[in-house]
Structure 1
């Protein structure tokens, strides 16, 4: 589905932009610990941006599991990376409780990819 390729490309763009911002704009402004948190958010966003592009390409092979995988992956980016970005700049540690929800969404997305490919 073209939508997931577009969402993947947009998230890849955002990941690169936020990675550069973290490296150049946040250095010296937040602690090394939170800079590491920011970098983790960027990495996982990029991994799953690539995953969204793959899902968009594979969706023609097996529609339903890949559609679910795409939406789970997109939601995972919002919950996982989004909570880490906010945590890194705000220091609000309760946001760390949201991050695992994103991780579970990522795991569920990859399970749906496995199911979708296995059904071909």
Structure 2
């Protein structure tokens, strides 16, 4: 499970860097300042949660079931939150109206919050040794 989590963290970290560079260079020419800031928010949250998953994968004090739950919540959260933000920020560049998927952003945010909540609950319920 740890290898899967760390591999997923590396994938999300790597793609966050790629998307950040793409936004800073290619999209800078075609998006306005607000759209770029929105895109950058998606990149930041993706990277924050890539690092979060890295922490989870390297943590030896958590049950595999908790790790799997956090992994699944975080993957879906990143896809829904950051993914929808990327599409909404670049909506003006295509003919499809991505505003119809705007409801996914808060769902993704809630999934990310829940993943952190699961981490917190896991450690709150442990007795200090």
Scaled by the length of structure 1, the TM-score of the pair is: 0.92
Shift of 1:66: 2.2
Q: Residue deviations 1:25-84, cap 9 Å, x none?
A: 001201211111100000000000001111112266322222201110111000000001
User: Runs (4+) of structure 1 moved beyond 4 Å?
Assistant: none
> Is residue 26 of structure 2 the alignment partner of residue 25 of structure 1?
yes
Residue matched to 2:58: 57
- Distance, in Å, in 1 between the alignment partners of 2:79 and 2:115 is 13
Shift of 1:115: 1.9
Scaled by the length of structure 2, the TM-score of the pair is: 0.86
Residue matched to 1:74: 75
- Residue of 76, 99, 113 corresponding to 1:107: 113
Q: 1:106 to 1:59 in 2, by over 3 A?
A: farther
* Unmatched runs of 5 consecutive residues or more in structure 1: none
Shift of 1:90: 1.5
Q: 1:59 to 1:78 in 2, by over 3 A?
A: farther
State the structure with more CA Rg: 2
State how many pairs are aligned.
Answer: 120
- Distance, in Å, in 2 between the alignment partners of 1:59 and 1:76 is 24
Residue matched to 1:90: 91
Shift of 1:88: 1.1
- Distance, in Å, in 1 between the alignment partners of 2:23 and 2:15 is 12
* Unmatched runs of 5 consecutive residues or more in structure 2: 93-97
